[in-house]
Amino acid sequence: MALQTISKTKTLSPVAEEGVLFRVLTAVSFCHLLNDMVQSLLPSIYPILKSSFKLDFGQIGLITLTYQITASLLQPFIGNYTDRRPLPYSLPLGMTVTLAGLILVAVATNFPMLLIAAGLIGVGSAVFHPESSRVARMASGGQHGMAQSFFQVGGNTGSAIGPLLAAYIVLPRGERGVGWFSIAALLGIAVLFWVSGWYKERLEHLQQRPAAHEDHTAPLPRKKVISAIAVLVALVFSKYFYLASLTIYYTFYLMERFHVSVRSSQLHLFVFLGAVAAGTLIGGPVGDRVGRKVVIWCSILGVLPFTLMLPYANLFWTGVLSVVIGFVIASAFSAILVYAQELVPGRVGMISGLFFGFAFGMGGIGAAVLGKLADATSVIYVYRLCAYLPAIGLLTGFLPNLERKRVGA
């Protein structure tokens, strides 16, 4: 079926329209890369901040909590508001707020300034994610899982690049080296202005042809929808609480257990986050083909044997297992997000904001709780305890089969 035109006055061929959509999807994924690359600098430079400001693990967890809670609290409200009143040019505005937080990190002289900077970065993230996720869905051409994976892999790639760049740019210069990344934020602002122009034209066109973007998934009873959302929230809790232990404290774990250097630990973190990016890219298209529930099953519960082995492995097998864990567990989020969007048709912004926000919130709470636990015990103990979290994936059995519902419809 030929895709609809983005112009009010002329019709594009299906091939030309697909080209336009792919450029938009690529642009928004690239901006997701820049956004999350900038944001990943915070955990990447924690060893530097810990040394410069004489922080303990609890204070490091509080920085992450400030950033992620700010993002998680605002995202659902922003998504709900923009479902009713879309704000195309909020995208470059969000990146501008992130830029302000980035600059403040570079010039911070005390711990409260670091908390304010983390809060600004969180606000920028809260504005960026719901609207950019909506743009990705609008540019999907009906392949919603593929579009969300493509969008997500941009963010995960940025998260993987951040620690690597931090090792070679920030580490030699200290926290002031963070200022160099303002160039990336400025580039993102410029690209997002172009994306916002397309988004505005697309909205005007869809208002004239509302049938072109309706969801046709058969609705479920309200109680079933609520229970399914609760299960998905529990699965996101499992995934991101566990990922907090890997992403935030992985460098400290490697340094404490294997006595590696800061640079070596950051390179290990880069490899792990690269595996997360690869797993994200696979999850959406596979979900489009075999069903999102199958992907959720395999991703959350399937990673359990590897997480149980990780705390007892040597350095080589720790690297190998972390790659396997990152690849497998990352494939879940795109499937979970699209599954939730199909549960509640027409509320893309609210659902995106809810799940992105909850993911950030769980990461933040996990960082704070695990930081306090690491101070009281050790990082190694934290890893042994968190290894059991993927067992929550058993709850996937309670999710309804939406693929069957769509066939019936």
- Region 66-90: mean pLDDT is 81
Could you tell me which of 205, 79, 68 has the C-alpha nearest to residue 125?
68
Q: Which residues, other chains included, contact 63 with Cβ-Cβ below 8 Å and sequence gap of 6+?
A: 42, 46, 49, 114, 115, 118
Q: Which residues contact 287 (CB under 8 A, 6 or more apart)?
A: 145, 294, 295, 334, 335, 338, 339
Q: b/e string for 272-305 if b means 16 or more Cβ within 10 A?
A: bbbbbbbbbbbbbbbbbeebbbbbbbbbbbbbbe
Tokens standing for 162? 């951040």
Q: Which pLDDT does position 17 carry in this prediction?
A: 58
Q: What confidence tens digit (pLDDT) does each residue in 215-259 have? A: 445 467 888 888 988 999 889 888 888 887 787 788 888 988 898
Task: Determine the pLDDT at residue 209.
Answer: 62
Q: What is the pLDDT of residue 190?
A: 94
pLDDT tens, residue by residue, 56-76: 777 887 887 787 778 777 888
Fold classification of 20-408 (topology level): Growth Hormone; Chain: A; (1.20.1250)
- Determine what percent of the chain is predicted with pLDDT higher than 70: 88
User: Of the given ranges (86-95, 175-184, 213-222, 368-377), which has the lowest mean pLDDT?
Assistant: 213-222
Helices (H), 291-408: 292-300, 304-309, 315-330, 332-343, 348-376, 379-386, 402-408
**pLDDT for residue 164:** 75
Among the listed ranges 105-114, 139-148, 170-179, 322-331, which one has the minimum average pLDDT value?
170-179
pLDDT beyond 70 at 5: no
- The span from the CA of 185 to the CA of 100, in Å, is 10
**How confident is the model at residue 369, as a pLDDT?**
83
Which sequence spans correspond to the domains of the chain?
20-408
Whole-model pTM: value is: 0.69
Position 363 pLDDT exceeds 70? no
- pLDDT tens profile 189-201: 999 999 998 988 8
Chain segment 7-54, per-residue pLDDT in tens: 443 444 444 455 558 888 889 989 999 988 887 777 777 778 887 788
More confident of the two residues 352 and 323: 323
